[in-house]
């Protein structure tokens, strides 16, 4: 959420930012919020005046009564009564105006970083760099489900019977590989100085609207019927919510956390859920990294976070590339974002396996996450990034580590988590 003072003093900056995100339909909202804000400030100013005048007159009444001037006191009481009626009417305007202003402010996009490339959608994202050699196998790489099924590692048919499309049973060595990757990711981040956290997997609506836009919420979140609770789509939701209405000291920053959770997503608008794949699914598990920091440090942490992902995938011998997300591909709360993509030998192209975002103070303003600094309180900056999200990551892992005989090579870093086996073989 933007600072209302920015909209008041520099509405052109807000309008230009909307244009850069190709959201011209939101341009009238700037004038609307300015109009409502002016009306709210007039009402607030008048209410303050009336309260001040009422207090002053109340003192006069006391003095006059003490002097025995009852008639004069009664006249002033009439003035106070008239003021009280106007004050009630004026105060009644404030809350609805505030609510209407907040609704609009929640829709206005965060100011994008000056380094973000301009573009309408993800087709105009810009490649930053690649790491690792993107090789093509000298044999045909099977579809990822075929690899798993050959190893008795997945059962989609049974999952469709129990739950429908977008779910799966992982079994045997593939299930163990899934858990091993998450355990390795946990330790990888702990070794980099991050504190490990297992958060709540359900959050209240005030946290949902604090961490994401209404459109994202509608497309992603599952609501618990009859309760003010939503299943999380990523542990970022709980982790940022952890700091709601907190006033942190500068000595407590940065907060560097890595969290594990299952994730639940509707995947609305995902062009359907594959019947024979685990790329887009309703349920998965993920290791995430979260940073809450001073505003001047968020650019530094942004670079640290996505490089952690690059290093993690390279430690498992998976080639990756980093894409800078263009302005039109940024969610409204994001100021800057990069996608980390893994190489697919089968498709001979890269595909997304993680996303790193700097949200500056957008989430902090919504959730009231402030820092007590030497010159007063200010809003913190928040960042998040995916360490790893199997089973999607399993696609990249299996395709890059499959051998000609159908067995799967286990990279050295992962072997302690797989009983020190160097291969998964057909039984």
- pLDDT per position as a tens digit, 125-178: 999 999 999 999 999 999 999 999 999 999 999 999 999 988 999 999 999 999
Interatomic CA distance for residues 245 and 344, integer angstroms: 43
Residue 116 lies in a domain: no
> Of 59, 75, 107, at which residue does a domain stop?
107
Q: For residue 358, give both structure tokens.
A: 């700097």
| Residue 51 pLDDT | 85
Structure tokens at 137: 């196998």
Claim to verify: residue 102 and residue 142 sit in the same structural domain: no
Query: Residue 404 belongs to what domain range?
Result: 122-424
**Measured distance CA(322)–CA(126) in Å, rounded:** 9
pLDDT digits (tens, 9 = 90+) for 295-340: 999 999 999 999 999 999 999 999 999 999 999 999 999 999 999 9
For range 29-33, the mean pLDDT: 97
Please indicate, yes or no, whether residues 94 and 243 belong to a single structural domain of this protein: no
Domain end: 84, 107, 130, which one?
107
Share of the chain above pLDDT 90, in %: 81
Q: What is the pLDDT of residue 268?
A: 60
Q: Are residues 390 and 272 in the same domain?
A: yes
Residue 75 or 42, more confident:
42
Consecutive H or E run containing 172: helix 172-190
Structural tokens at position 422 = 């160097």
Inform me whether the pLDDT recorded for 272 exceeds 60: no
User: Are residues 376 and 240 part of one domain?
Assistant: yes
Residues whose CB falls within 8 Å of the CB of residue 315, separated by 6 or more in sequence, listed in order: 188, 411, 413
Asked if residue 383 is part of any domain, the answer here is: yes
Cα dist from 293 to 27, 38, 67, 117, 297, whole Å: 31, 33, 61, 25, 6
Does any domain span residue 114? no
What does the pLDDT look like over 348-362, one tens digit per residue? 999 999 999 999 999
- 269-296 per-residue burial string, b: 16 or more CB within 10 A, e: under 16: eeeebeeebbebbbbbbbbbbbbbbbee
Distance CA 79, CA 61 (A): 11
Please tell me whether residues 154 and 203 are part of one structural domain.
yes
Residues 80 and 121: their CA atoms lie apart, in Å, by 60
β-sheet bridge partners, residue 339:
323, 355
Note whether residue 117 is domain-resident.
Answer: no
273 falls in which pLDDT band (50, 70, 90)? low
Give the pLDDT confidence of 66-117 residue by residue, as tens digits.
777 778 877 777 777 778 888 888 889 999 999 999 999 999 999 999 999 9
The CA–CA distances, whole Å, from 241 to 286, 323, 365, 379 equal 18, 28, 12, 14
Q: Are residues 352 and 410 in the same domain?
A: yes
Rounded to the nearest integer, the mean pLDDT of the chain is 93
* Residue among 257, 357, 253, 255 at smallest CA distance from 303: 357
- For residue 129, list its beta bridge partners: 322
Q: Which of 57, 413, 26, 17 is nearest to 214 (CA)?
A: 26
Residues 38 and 134 in one domain: no
Q: Would you say residue 390 lies in a domain?
A: yes
As for how many domains the chain has, the answer is 2
Q: Per-residue pLDDT tens for 170-212? A: 999 999 999 999 999 999 999 999 999 999 999 999 999 999 8
Is residue 112 one of the residues assigned to a domain?
no
CATH code, domain carrying 218: 3.30.930.10
Q: What is the percent of the chain with per-residue pLDDT over 70, rounded to a whole number?
A: 98
Q: Which two tokens stand for residue 304?
A: 């640290």
Both 222 and 198 in a single domain? yes
167 with 102, same domain? Answer: no
Q: What pLDDT score does 275 carry?
A: 58
Q: Among residues 140, 107, 145, 133, which one has the least CA distance to residue 23? A: 107
Instruction: Examine residue 129 and state whether it is found in any structural domain, yes or no.
Output: yes
**Do 161 and 225 reside in the same domain of the chain?**
yes
**Pairing relation of β-strands 349-358 and 336-344?**
antiparallel
Length in residues, the chain: 427
> Is residue 126 a part of any domain in this protein?
yes
Q: Of 75, 107, 139, which residue sits at a domain end? A: 107
**Given pLDDT bands bounded at 50, 70 and 90, which one contains residue 378?**
very high
Cα–Cα distance, 215 to 253 (Å, whole number): 31
Higher pLDDT, residue 123 or 274: 123
CATH number of domain containing 61: 1.10.287.40
pLDDT for 274 equals 55
Question: Are residues 100 and 157 both part of a single domain?
Answer: no
254 and 161 assigned to the same domain: yes
Whether pLDDT at 65 is above 80: no
């Amino acid at each position: 959420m933007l600072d209302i003072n920015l909209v008041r003093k520099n509405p052109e900056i807000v309008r230009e930012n909307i244009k850069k995100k190709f959201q011209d339909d939101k341009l009238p909202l700037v004038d609307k919020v300015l109009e409502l804000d002016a009306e709210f400030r007039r009402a607030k100013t008048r209410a303050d005046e009336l309260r001040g005048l009422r207090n002053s007159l109340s003192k006069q009444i006391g003095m006059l009564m003490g002097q025995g001037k009852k008639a004069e006191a009664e006249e002033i009481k009439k003035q106070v009564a008239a003021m009280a009626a106007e004050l009630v009417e004026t105060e009644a305007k404030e809350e609805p105006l505030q609510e209407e202003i907040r609704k609009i402010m929640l829709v206005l996009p965060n100011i994008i970083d000056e380094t973000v490339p301009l573009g309408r959608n993800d087709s105009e994202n810009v490649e930053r760099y690649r790491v690792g050699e993107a090789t093509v196998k000298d044999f045909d790489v099977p579809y990822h489900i075929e690899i798993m099924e050959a190893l008795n590692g997945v059962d989609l048919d049974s999952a469709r019977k129990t739950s429908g499309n977008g779910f799966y049973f992982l079994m045997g060595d593939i299930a163990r590989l899934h858990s091993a990757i998450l355990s390795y990711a946990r330790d990888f981040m702990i070794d980099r100085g991050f504190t490990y956290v297992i958060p709540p997997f359900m959050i209240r609506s005030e946290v949902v609207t604090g961490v994401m836009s209404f459109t994202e919420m509608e497309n992603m979140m599952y609501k618990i019927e009859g309760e003010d609770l939503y299943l999380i789509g990523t542990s970022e939701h709980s982790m940022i919510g952890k700091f709601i209405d907190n006033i942190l000291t500068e000595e407590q920053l940065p907060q560097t956390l890595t969290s594990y959770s299952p994730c639940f997503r509707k995947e609305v608008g995902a062009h359907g859920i594959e019947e024979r794949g685990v790329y887009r699914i309703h349920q998965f598990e993920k290791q995430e990294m979260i940073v809450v920091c001073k505003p001047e440090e968020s650019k530094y942490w942004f670079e640290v976070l996505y490089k952690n992902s690059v290093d993690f995938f390279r430690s498992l011998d998976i080639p990756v590339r980093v894409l800078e997300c263009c302005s039109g591909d940024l969610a409204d709360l994001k100021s800057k974002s990069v996608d980390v993509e893994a190489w697919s030998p089968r498709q001979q192209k890269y595909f997304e396996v993680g996303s790193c975002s700097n949200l500056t103070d957008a989430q902090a303003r919504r959730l009231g996450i402030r820092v007590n600094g030497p010159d007063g309180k200010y809003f913190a900056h928040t960042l998040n990034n995916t360490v790893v999200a199997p089973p999607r990551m399993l696609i990249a892992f299996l395709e890059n580590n499959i051998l000609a005989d159908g067995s799967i090579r286990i990279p050295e870093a992962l072997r302690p988590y797989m009983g020190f086996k160097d291969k998964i073989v057909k039984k």
